[in-house]
Amino acid sequence: MIYLQLFLTFFKIGAFSFGGGYAMIPLIQKEIIDIHHWLPIEQFLDIIAVSQMTPGPIAINAATFVGYKVAGIGGSLAATLGVTAPSFLIILIIAFLIMKFRHVSWLDAFFIGVRPAVIALIIQAAYSVAKNSFSGVRDIIIAVAVFCGLYLLKINPLLIIAMAALLGIALY
Protein backbone atom coordinates (compact mmCIF):
# COMPACT_ATOMS: atom_id res chain seq x y z
CA MET A 1 0.00 0.00 0.00
CA ILE A 2 2.81 2.45 0.86
CA TYR A 3 4.41 1.81 -2.55
CA LEU A 4 1.20 2.74 -4.33
CA GLN A 5 0.84 5.82 -2.11
CA LEU A 6 4.41 6.89 -2.91
CA PHE A 7 3.88 6.27 -6.63
CA LEU A 8 0.60 8.21 -6.77
CA THR A 9 1.92 11.08 -4.63
CA PHE A 10 4.99 11.54 -6.79
CA PHE A 11 2.97 10.98 -9.97
CA LYS A 12 0.80 13.93 -8.89
CA ILE A 13 3.91 15.99 -8.15
CA GLY A 14 5.37 15.13 -11.54
CA ALA A 15 2.10 15.78 -13.35
CA PHE A 16 1.24 19.16 -11.82
CA SER A 17 4.63 20.82 -11.49
CA PHE A 18 5.85 22.97 -14.34
CA GLY A 19 9.32 24.43 -14.44
CA GLY A 20 11.53 21.60 -13.28
CA GLY A 21 12.78 20.44 -9.93
CA TYR A 22 13.03 23.77 -8.13
CA ALA A 23 9.45 24.59 -9.04
CA MET A 24 8.42 21.18 -7.62
CA ILE A 25 9.88 21.81 -4.16
CA PRO A 26 6.78 23.54 -2.72
CA LEU A 27 4.50 20.74 -3.91
CA ILE A 28 6.90 18.04 -2.68
CA GLN A 29 7.09 19.79 0.69
CA LYS A 30 3.30 20.06 0.97
CA GLU A 31 2.77 16.40 0.09
CA ILE A 32 5.63 14.91 2.11
CA ILE A 33 5.41 17.06 5.25
CA ASP A 34 1.93 18.58 5.45
CA ILE A 35 -0.30 15.91 3.93
CA HIS A 36 1.41 12.55 4.52
CA HIS A 37 3.71 13.48 7.44
CA TRP A 38 6.35 11.13 6.09
CA LEU A 39 9.30 13.31 7.13
CA PRO A 40 10.03 16.23 9.45
CA ILE A 41 10.99 19.55 7.82
CA GLU A 42 14.63 19.22 8.90
CA GLN A 43 15.01 15.86 7.18
CA PHE A 44 13.21 17.20 4.10
CA LEU A 45 15.65 20.14 3.89
CA ASP A 46 18.57 17.72 4.16
CA ILE A 47 17.11 15.67 1.31
CA ILE A 48 16.71 18.81 -0.83
CA ALA A 49 20.33 19.78 -0.10
CA VAL A 50 21.60 16.30 -1.04
CA SER A 51 19.36 16.26 -4.12
CA GLN A 52 20.94 19.50 -5.31
CA MET A 53 24.47 18.21 -4.79
CA THR A 54 24.05 14.84 -6.50
CA PRO A 55 24.04 14.36 -10.26
CA GLY A 56 20.66 14.30 -11.94
CA PRO A 57 17.41 16.24 -11.76
CA ILE A 58 16.48 17.47 -8.29
CA ALA A 59 12.91 16.09 -8.45
CA ILE A 60 14.10 12.59 -9.31
CA ASN A 61 16.80 12.70 -6.64
CA ALA A 62 14.34 13.99 -4.04
CA ALA A 63 11.76 11.34 -4.96
CA THR A 64 14.41 8.64 -4.74
CA PHE A 65 15.64 9.82 -1.32
CA VAL A 66 12.14 10.36 0.11
CA GLY A 67 10.96 6.98 -1.18
CA TYR A 68 13.97 5.30 0.40
CA LYS A 69 13.44 7.07 3.75
CA VAL A 70 9.76 6.11 3.79
CA ALA A 71 9.85 2.52 2.46
CA GLY A 72 13.37 1.41 1.55
CA ILE A 73 14.43 0.38 -1.93
CA GLY A 74 10.89 -0.48 -3.06
CA GLY A 75 9.71 2.96 -1.92
CA SER A 76 12.59 4.54 -3.76
CA LEU A 77 11.61 2.78 -6.99
CA ALA A 78 7.91 3.62 -6.57
CA ALA A 79 8.54 7.32 -5.90
CA THR A 80 11.09 7.64 -8.72
CA LEU A 81 8.81 5.93 -11.25
CA GLY A 82 5.93 8.07 -10.04
CA VAL A 83 7.73 11.38 -10.51
CA THR A 84 9.18 10.45 -13.92
CA ALA A 85 6.11 8.83 -15.52
CA PRO A 86 4.14 12.08 -16.07
CA SER A 87 7.11 13.83 -17.68
CA PHE A 88 7.68 10.91 -20.00
CA LEU A 89 4.03 10.84 -21.04
CA ILE A 90 3.74 14.62 -21.32
CA ILE A 91 6.90 14.89 -23.45
CA LEU A 92 5.57 12.25 -25.83
CA ILE A 93 2.29 14.14 -26.20
CA ILE A 94 3.97 17.55 -26.53
CA ALA A 95 6.45 16.28 -29.11
CA PHE A 96 3.56 14.97 -31.17
CA LEU A 97 1.55 18.20 -30.80
CA ILE A 98 4.49 20.49 -31.54
CA MET A 99 5.30 18.58 -34.69
CA LYS A 100 1.67 18.61 -35.77
CA PHE A 101 0.80 22.21 -34.75
CA ARG A 102 4.16 24.00 -34.72
CA HIS A 103 2.77 26.97 -36.66
CA VAL A 104 -0.25 27.62 -34.40
CA SER A 105 -0.14 30.92 -32.49
CA TRP A 106 -1.95 29.70 -29.37
CA LEU A 107 0.86 27.22 -28.70
CA ASP A 108 3.39 30.06 -28.60
CA ALA A 109 1.03 32.05 -26.38
CA PHE A 110 0.72 29.08 -24.00
CA PHE A 111 4.49 28.86 -23.50
CA ILE A 112 4.80 32.63 -23.10
CA GLY A 113 2.11 32.56 -20.42
CA VAL A 114 3.66 29.65 -18.52
CA ARG A 115 7.14 31.25 -18.19
CA PRO A 116 6.22 33.87 -15.54
CA ALA A 117 4.34 31.25 -13.53
CA VAL A 118 7.43 29.04 -13.50
CA ILE A 119 9.58 31.94 -12.26
CA ALA A 120 7.07 32.57 -9.45
CA LEU A 121 7.18 28.90 -8.44
CA ILE A 122 10.99 28.96 -8.31
CA ILE A 123 10.97 32.14 -6.20
CA GLN A 124 8.41 30.57 -3.84
CA ALA A 125 10.58 27.45 -3.52
CA ALA A 126 13.65 29.56 -2.73
CA TYR A 127 11.69 31.51 -0.11
CA SER A 128 10.33 28.33 1.47
CA VAL A 129 13.73 26.67 1.68
CA ALA A 130 15.40 29.88 2.94
CA LYS A 131 12.72 30.45 5.59
CA ASN A 132 13.37 27.04 7.09
CA SER A 133 17.15 26.98 6.58
CA PHE A 134 18.40 30.11 8.31
CA SER A 135 18.71 29.71 12.05
CA GLY A 136 21.36 32.32 12.76
CA VAL A 137 24.04 34.66 11.52
CA ARG A 138 26.38 31.81 10.52
CA ASP A 139 23.80 30.50 8.05
CA ILE A 140 23.47 33.96 6.50
CA ILE A 141 27.28 34.25 6.24
CA ILE A 142 27.47 30.96 4.35
CA ALA A 143 24.58 31.95 2.05
CA VAL A 144 26.09 35.36 1.26
CA ALA A 145 29.53 33.82 0.67
CA VAL A 146 28.05 31.21 -1.68
CA PHE A 147 26.03 33.83 -3.56
CA CYS A 148 29.07 36.08 -3.97
CA GLY A 149 31.22 33.16 -5.07
CA LEU A 150 28.70 32.05 -7.67
CA TYR A 151 27.36 35.36 -8.92
CA LEU A 152 30.19 37.84 -8.49
CA LEU A 153 33.32 35.68 -8.69
CA LYS A 154 31.88 33.05 -11.08
CA ILE A 155 33.41 30.17 -9.08
CA ASN A 156 32.50 26.67 -10.21
CA PRO A 157 29.42 25.41 -8.29
CA LEU A 158 31.19 22.16 -7.38
CA LEU A 159 34.01 24.10 -5.76
CA ILE A 160 31.44 26.32 -4.01
CA ILE A 161 29.72 23.25 -2.52
CA ALA A 162 33.04 21.93 -1.23
CA MET A 163 33.95 25.35 0.19
CA ALA A 164 30.51 25.71 1.83
CA ALA A 165 30.92 22.28 3.42
CA LEU A 166 34.32 23.27 4.82
CA LEU A 167 32.89 26.59 6.02
CA GLY A 168 30.04 24.70 7.69
CA ILE A 169 32.52 22.40 9.43
CA ALA A 170 34.57 25.41 10.59
CA LEU A 171 31.57 27.42 11.83
CA TYR A 172 29.63 24.58 13.43
Give residue-wise pLDDT tens across range 100-115. 877 878 877 887 888 8
Amino acid (1-letter code) at residue 117 = A
User: Residue 36 contacts by C-beta under 8 Å, 6 or more apart in sequence?
Assistant: 5, 9
Query: In this model, does residue 28 exceed pLDDT 70?
Result: yes
Give yes or no: residues 51 and 106 share one domain: yes
CA separation for the pair 19, 82 (Å, rounded): 17
pTM of the model: 0.59
pLDDT reading at 61 higher than 80: yes
Residues 33, 116: one domain?
A: yes
Whether 69 and 47 have beta carbons less than 8 Å apart is answered as yes
Tell me which residue range forms the domain holding 153. 135-172
Residue 145: its pLDDT value, please?
Answer: 87
Same domain? 86 vs 140: no
Whether 118 has a pLDDT exceeding 80, the answer reads yes
Distance CA 157, CA 28 (A): 24
Count of C-beta atoms within a 10 Å radius of residue 19: 16
pLDDT of residue 1: 92
Q: What is the pLDDT of residues 131-154, one digit of tens each?
A: 877 888 888 888 888 889 999 999
143 and 105 in a common domain: no
Total domains in the chain come to: 2
Co-location of 21 and 94 in the same domain: yes
Verify that 58 and 139 share a domain, yes or no: no
Q: How much is the pLDDT for 140? A: 84
pLDDT at 6 over 90: yes
Mean pLDDT over 28-34 rounds to: 90
- Residues 20, 54: one domain? yes
Q: pLDDT band at residue 19, thresholds of 50, 70 and 90?
A: low
- The pLDDT score that the predictor gives to residue 58 is 83
For residues 108 and 120, membership in a common domain is answered with yes
